[in-house]
Structure 1
Amino acid sequence: MSDTANVEQRRTAGRSVPPTRALALTYRVVLRQLASRGRIIALTALALVSTVAGFALGQADADLEAGVRLVSGLGFAVIIPVVSLVFGGAAIGDLREDKTLVYLWLRPMDRWPLVVGAFLAALTLTTPITLIPVVAAAVLAGSGGGLVAATVIAGLVAVIAYCAVFTLLGVALRRFIVWGLAYVLIWEGFIALGGAGVARFAIRKYTRSIIVDRTGVDLDLADFSQMTGIIVPLLAGVVALALASWRLARQDID
């Protein structure tokens, strides 16, 4: 009998772990793995840059457009995607690197609870670290409640979509940080500006569209309705998690 067959036999032997229990187990393990003090301090410091910038903008009595450009250009172009990449990619990627994933993988349970549990752990950490400082920047910029509401809605959509997509990267690729940064900085930052077709694959286009729809301030890479800006990234997140589950079920874990 082959090694793969032996592994599969051991994995499926005995009573299968219920999905809810498997999800909760994965969530606890991954959350503990991700929540290192150094990582949280470093990423929180990065996110607080937006709050400081928002305070400085408010002190200068900047207008709504300046506030929108600050939030979209710093919060949604750098802070939210980068923090989501670190946590989302590491949710599975770190477990694989330190050989912890094999212990979960060999348990008799479906693969989707493992992926969803890891995604939820990443989301648990990413959401407060990014949204609290970025929303605070919108408040301190003094640009009005429209920008604050837009930041909350677009921020929630962005965090969910980015964490899901980067969880997939962590499952599929070992150098997920490199590929994730290439997506955020090169694809979304430059290539997506070149045409409407490629821009459809940029999460930033949809989150900016939410902000534009609610504030009326014109931004590049933002021409969808608010509803489209919400629905498409969330659907992309569901697809990413489904692909991650499929990929994890078919790859060898050592």
Structure 2
Amino acid sequence: MYNHTVARLTYRGLLGRRRAAILFALPALLIIISVAVRVLTGVDDSTAANVLGGFALATMVPLIGVVAGTGAIGPEIDDGSVVYLLSKPIKRPTIIFTKLIVAIGVTVAFSAIPTLVAGFILNGNSQQIAVAYAVAAAVASVAYSAIFLLLGTVTRHAVVAGLVYALVWESLFGSLIAGARTLSVQQWSLALAERIGGEGAITSEVGLPLALILLIGVTAAATWYAGQKLRTLTLAGEE
């Protein structure tokens, strides 16, 4: 199910000069903010949770997911080079699965690890806040990668659609509208962080069992449908 050639090409595309700049900029900004907050306010669990939840999980993780998820396949479809890949004797589900693994790896590396480092800077992992948010970022990375990879297969405007989802739905509606929170990857991952963190340190609007079901279900459904769309694209190219 995993193809090393597809993975190598995908990594090369994702870590090109333009995307790499974006991928490095957001974690660097998180670290700078964390250092500044620590210097100005000292160690405070509430402040640490606000920075990690408000910027890292709510903004940085989905944005990196957009870059990695859509970038894993979207540019190849846009410029037509995906036809060359599809002409090879590689099963379509293998292509999608490989690109998903690459997108997850990149998203986790550029979001979960910086979140962990920022958490230790902010409060030294008091009440397991740093670890809890890092785990939440890693879990959210899986779902975001699948969702945005799917967007890359269904629309040529995947980046715009991804930004709208990440910034409007997740960051705005998911934070302000109670009903939207249940359908928010951010809240699903927070449910796991709540279980890991100290009592009352982190809260989620979704129970852990439901959150896990939704995370697994959305990831699986998005991956499967992306494979189906790629299969359709293949048939169109052959025609």
TM range (shorter): 0.7 to 0.9
| Residue identity in the other structure for 2:201 | V
Q: 4+ residue stretches of structure 1 with deviation over 6 A? A: none
**What CA distance in whole angstroms lies between the structure 1 residues aligned with 2:183 and 2:113?**
27
The answer to whether the 8 Å contact 2:27/2:111 transfers is yes
| Residue identity in the other structure for 1:68 | A
- Is residue 2:89 matched to residue 1:108? yes
- Is residue 2:49 matched to residue 1:68? yes
Q: CA deviation at 1:160?
A: 0.8
TM-score where L is the length of structure 2 = 0.88
Secondary structure at the counterpart of residue 171 of structure 2: coil
> In 2 relative to 1, CA 62–226 (structure 1 residues): closer, same or farther, beyond 3 Å?
farther
The answer to whether the 8 Å contact 1:26/1:117 transfers is yes
RMSD of aligned residue pairs (Cα, Å)? 2.0
2:80 maps to which residue? 99
- Is residue 2:149 matched to residue 1:167? yes
- Is residue 2:201 matched to residue 1:217? yes
Query: Which of 165, 177, 181 is residue 183 of structure 1 equivalent to?
Result: 165
The answer to whether the 8 Å contact 1:119/1:164 transfers is yes
1:42-70 deviations in whole A, cap 9, x for unaligned? 32122111112222222222421111111
- Is residue 2:183 matched to residue 1:195? no
1:151 maps to which residue? 133
Secondary structure at the counterpart of residue 140 of structure 1: helix
The answer to whether the 8 Å contact 2:112/2:135 transfers is no
2:22 maps to which residue? 42
Q: CA deviation at 1:185?
A: 1.3
| Residue identity in the other structure for 2:165 | Y
Q: CA deviation at 1:91?
A: 0.8
- Is residue 2:216 matched to residue 1:237? no
Size of the alignment, in residue pairs? Answer: 231
- Is residue 2:225 matched to residue 1:248? no
The answer to whether the 8 Å contact 1:101/1:253 transfers is no
1:78-118 deviations in whole A, cap 9, x for unaligned? 11110110111011101112322101112233211111111
> In 2 relative to 1, CA 226–55 (structure 1 residues): closer, same or farther, beyond 3 Å?
farther
The answer to whether the 8 Å contact 2:57/2:133 transfers is no
Unaligned runs of 5+ in 1: 1-18
1:11 maps to which residue? none
| Residue identity in the other structure for 1:242 | W
| Residue identity in the other structure for 1:47 | P
Q: Matches of residues 131-150 of structure 1 in structure 2 within 5 Å?
A: 131-142=112-123, 144-150=126-132
| Residue identity in the other structure for 1:86 | V
| Residue identity in the other structure for 2:178 | G
The answer to whether the 8 Å contact 2:193/2:202 transfers is no
Q: CA deviation at 1:230?
A: 4.0
1:120 maps to which residue? 101
